[in-house]
Amino acid sequence: MNTRTDHLVNGVDLSIDFAGIKSPNPFWLASAPPTDKAYNVERAYRAGWGGVVWKTLGEDPPAVNVSSRYSAHFGKNREVLGFNNIELITDRSLAINLEEIARVKRDWPDRALIVSIMVPCEEAAWQHILPLVEATGADGIELNLGCPHGMPERGMGAAVGQNPDLIEQVARWCKQYYSKPVIVKLTPNITDIRVAAQAALRGGADAVSLINTINSITSIDLDNMVAKPTVGQQSTHGGYCGSAVKPIALNMVAEIARDAPTRDLPISGIGGISDWRDAAEFVALGAGSVQVCTAAMLHGFRIVEEMKDGLSRWMAEQGYRSLDEFSGKAVANTTDWKHLDMNFKTIAHIDQDKCISCGRCYIACEDTSHQSIAQLIDASGARRYEVIEEECVGCNLCQITCPVQDCISMLPQQTGKPYMSWDQDPRNPFRQAS
């Protein structure tokens, strides 16, 4: 039996109780290739991961995958910004998966083990598989209602997750035939994520996880006129993940966390989590656990040690003794645009000691923004850039384009004016109606 008391890191308690599922830390591996067999999962546990979501089980015969399966969206230095896959659910038999899940859970009782499931949207299919999964002793299940490729063509995955009535129905079946926590994994390929979350809640779901992957085509091979990954002479859209999707995931997590019907619904955050800071941001917006896939695939399982170390050190510096002490603290400060303070003003300031006179801020502001940065050239030809304060609208573009960290800062201004929302603003032509 492998039990470890590693919930205390740098004197901080990283353990969680997520919808009744206990874990020594909030870092779980998401349902994906890294969790497709006992060999991988046990290595992940030894590396320090608090939990895993086993790669999605389905009915026999198992899915058949194609070759190749992955592609990427690269930065200019070949760093992977986004990752695309056209892989399906497990291609191993249900019996083998169930046997390995039971053995791993027996040997690692202190780690969270959640089983992802996807079967046809028929009550009999769920009624059949759920008791088999429960017999393994796994801590809970995650309903894969978000896979955007291959499975929707068979009436599963995102085909279910895009239909609130089906989300509610499948969740209800699972609560009827399974006694442990039920997590519904939501698709981002939808207009309003709150509708899907509310449907899961109505069906009795104990929690939701999000986001699943986003429909994507990462690039085109212009020599052969086919997208990547290429299967023979063809390709298809796949599921997009990695650091590029983090902003989308954070927004959807926040939407659920601040929506009145679902504000108390536990959320497992997924999407572009690559380091401890990413994880902390998801927790601040209400996530009770975080799931990682792409970062582990690119850098290996040992990245979890850096994540745990970094998160615990930051928490200690902030005085947080557990994740509960800052979970959801950013939700109250997240609102609709119409509630923002119209009288708030900030302007840019350039630290001349740090400025390297590259002119990127000037070009960006002059060509595409508000012409509020002056380029001053002295007799020797040396350039200097200064903010024209009366023209600056505080858009942040100069700070974003500046290659020197902390060279440009945005300074709040004392306007002497009280808070005023758009609903209260006399410039709003619909103010009275509001």
SS3 string of the chain? Answer: CCCCCCCEECCEECCEEECCEEECCCEEECCCHHHCCHHHHHHHHHHCCCEEEEEEECCCCCCCCCCCCEEEEECCCCCEEEEEECCCCCCCCHHHHHHHHHHHHHHCCCCEEEEEECCCCCHHHHHHHHHHHHCCCCCEEEEECCCCCCCHHHCCCHHHHCCHHHHHHHHHHHHHHCCCCEEEECCCCCCCHHHHHHHHHHCCCCEEEECCCEEECCCEECCCCEECCCECCECCCEEEECHHHHHHHHHHHHHHHCCHHHCCCCEEEECCCCCHHHHHHHHHCCEEEEEECHHHHHHCCCHHHHHHHHHHHHHHHHCCCEHHHCCCCCCCCCCCHHHCCCCCCEEEEECCCCCCCCCHHHHHHHHHCCCCEEEEECCCCCEEEEECCCCCCCCCHHHHHCCCCCCEEEEECCCCCCCCCCCCCCCCCCCCCC
pLDDT at position 164: 95
pLDDT tens-place string over residues 171-188:
999 999 999 999 999 999
For this structure, is 147 an active site residue?
yes
pLDDT at 81 over 90: yes
pLDDT tens-place string over residues 386-398:
999 999 999 999 9
pLDDT > 70 in the chain, percent:
97
Strand 70-74, strand 226-227: pairing: unpaired
**Cis omega (within 30 of 0) for bond into 421:** no
Residue 251 CA: distances (Å) to CA of 163, 188, 194, 335, 363: 21, 11, 11, 11, 31
Residues 299-305, mean pLDDT to the nearest whole number: 97
pLDDT at position 2: 47
Predicted confidence band of residue 150 (pLDDT cuts 50, 70, 90): low
| Mean per-residue pLDDT over the chain, rounded | 94
| CA pseudo-torsion sign 400, 402, 406, 412 | negative
Yes or no: say if 187 and 160 are a contact pair by the CB < 8 Å rule: no
Of 369, 334, 159, nearest to 256 by C-alpha is: 334
pLDDT at position 433: 55
| CA pseudo-torsion sign 217, 221, 226, 230 | negative
Helices 303-318 and 38-47: crossing angle in degrees, nearest 10, is 40
pLDDT at 434 over 50: no
Yes or no: say if 243 and 179 are a contact pair by the CB < 8 Å rule: no
Instruction: Round to whole Å and give the CA distance between 7 and 392.
Output: 48
Yes or no: say if 321 and 18 are a contact pair by the CB < 8 Å rule: no
pLDDT at 3 over 70: no
pLDDT at position 1: 42
Residues 259-274, mean pLDDT to the nearest whole number: 97
The two tokens of residue 170 are 């499948």
Structural domains of the chain in order of their starting residue, each with its CATH number: 8-325 (3.20.20.70), 338-412 (3.30.70.20)
Residue of 147, 241, 355, 392 marked catalytic: 147
Yes or no: say if 411 and 326 are a contact pair by the CB < 8 Å rule: no
Residues 226-234, mean pLDDT to the nearest whole number: 93
DSSP string over 196-256: HHHHHHHTT-SEEEE--PEEE---EETTTTEESS-BTTB---EEEESGGGHHHHHHHHHHH
Residue 163 burial (10 A CB sphere; 0-12, 13-18, 19+): middle
pLDDT at position 432: 67
pLDDT at 10 over 60: yes
Residues 302-325, mean pLDDT to the nearest whole number: 97
| Non-local CB neighbours of 428 within 8 Å, separated by 6+ positions | 422, 434
Residue 28: beta bridge partners? 51, 291
Instruction: Round to whole Å and give the CA distance between 372 and 387.
Output: 6
pLDDT at 334 over 80: yes
Residue 91 CA: distances (Å) to CA of 9, 79, 243: 37, 30, 27
